[in-house]
């Protein structure tokens, strides 16, 4: 059974006390609090976040309908409790769980709260299913992105095609519509644009440092400042790559502050 919290909203103290006594006899129901007018009801809903409202219609400062209109989109489920039966149509237009006329019997209240428990359980199940769908979608997207990341590169060298693992690459340098792939085995021409590579390379391993260069993070040994304040990243093979002016912050945040 779904446990629910209930806020009683009624301008008559006697009616509130009677309703509270009946709530105490119903399993799975928590008496969250009470309110005697519209402003107090709005404040209590914000403070207590009840699941269900036992909501009178006529009260000082407005009506029960005013309470519903002033609540946030995620609202408690209303059960109207009133001495008048001519508001029923409007009440159900407000998605009321039930409409009780005073004096309310314990059995009738229990029935109404049972409907509220069932509605909340169904809503939680829908939310759980939606969360699972979102999780599965996120996992699928991550897997697609992961599978698109290159773990190796096949490059041509004379009459051979050589496999170079991604961890052996030191940097990529733009060369027209191609890139020069610099690795421990040498320098090779690779048939892809630098922009395309940047989209596929894992950001945790590679960093673009200029419009024409991407370096492998763990290959960087130091960053030095040259004439006119120009930065260069120095790699393990002692090669130097100039940092583009528009990439200064990227390098500082991605390398220097790591």
Q: Which pLDDT tens digit goes with each residue over 92-140?
A: 777 888 888 888 999 999 999 999 999 888 888 887 777 767 766 766 6
Residue 74 sits in a domain whose CATH number is 3.40.50.2300
Distance CA 229, CA 243 (A): 11
Whether the predicted pLDDT of 171 surpasses 90: yes
149: pLDDT strictly greater than 70: no
Q: Which of 11-25, 67-81, 175-189, 232-246 has the weakest average pLDDT?
A: 67-81
Give a yes or no: residue 146 inside a domain.
no
User: How many domains does the structure of the chain reveal?
Assistant: 2
How far apart are the C-alpha atoms of 245 and 12, rounded to whole Å? 71
pTM check: above 0.85: no
Mean pLDDT is highest, among 27-41, 148-162, 194-208, for: 27-41
pLDDT at 72: 64
| Tokens (6 digits) for 42 | 């709005």
Query: Measured between alpha carbons, how far is 85 from 77 in angstroms, rounded to an integer?
Result: 19
Please tell me what DSSP assigns to residue 187: E
Which has more pLDDT, 5 or 121? Answer: 5
Residues 8 and 54 occupy one common structural domain = yes
Range of the domain at 198: 152-256
Report if residue 144 sits inside a domain: no
Model pLDDT, residue 145: 55
31, 83, 116, 124, 126 from 2: Cα distances, Å: 14, 29, 9, 10, 14
Percent above pLDDT 90 for the chain: 43
DSSP 18-43: HHHHHHTTSTTEEEEEEESSHHHHHH
Can you tell me the mean pLDDT for 30-57?
93
Q: Are residues 95 and 133 in the same domain?
A: yes
Predicted confidence band of residue 148 (pLDDT cuts 50, 70, 90): low
Query: Do residue 202 and residue 108 come from a single domain?
Result: no
Mean pLDDT for all residues in the chain: 86
Q: Binning pLDDT at 50, 70 and 90, where does residue 215 land?
A: very high
């Amino acid at each position: 059974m779904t446990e629910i919290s209930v806020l009683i909203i009624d301008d008559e103290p006697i009616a509130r006390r009677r309703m509270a006594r009946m709530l105490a006899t119903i399993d799975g129901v928590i008496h969250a609090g009470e309110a005697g007018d519209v402003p107090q009801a709005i404040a209590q809903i914000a403070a207590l976040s009840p699941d269900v409202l036992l909501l009178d219609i006529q009260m000082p400062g407005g009506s029960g309908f005013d309470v519903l209109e002033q609540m946030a989109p995620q609202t408690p489920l209303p059960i109207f409790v009133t001495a008048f039966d001519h508001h029923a149509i409007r009440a159900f237009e407000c998605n009321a769980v039930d409409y009780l006329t005073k004096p309310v019997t314990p059995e009738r209240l229990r029935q109404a709260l049972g409907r509220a428990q069932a509605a909340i359980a169904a809503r939680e199940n829908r939310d759980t299913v939606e969360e699972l769908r979102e999780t599965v979608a996120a996992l699928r997207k991550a897997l697609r992105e992961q599978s698109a990341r290159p773990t190796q590169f096949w490059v041509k060298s004379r009459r051979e095609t050589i496999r170079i693992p991604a961890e052996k690459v030191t940097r990529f340098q733009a060369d027209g519509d191609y890139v020069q792939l610099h690795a421990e085995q040498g320098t090779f021409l690779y048939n892809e644009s630098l922009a395309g590579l940047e989209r596929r390379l894992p950001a945790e391993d590679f960093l673009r440092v200029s419009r024409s260069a991407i370096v492998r993070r763990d290959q960087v040994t130091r960053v030095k400042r040259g004439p006119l304040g120009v930065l260069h990243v120095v790699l393990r093979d002692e090669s130097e790559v100039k940092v583009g002016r528009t990439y200064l912050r990227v390098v500082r945040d991605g390398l220097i502050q790591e």
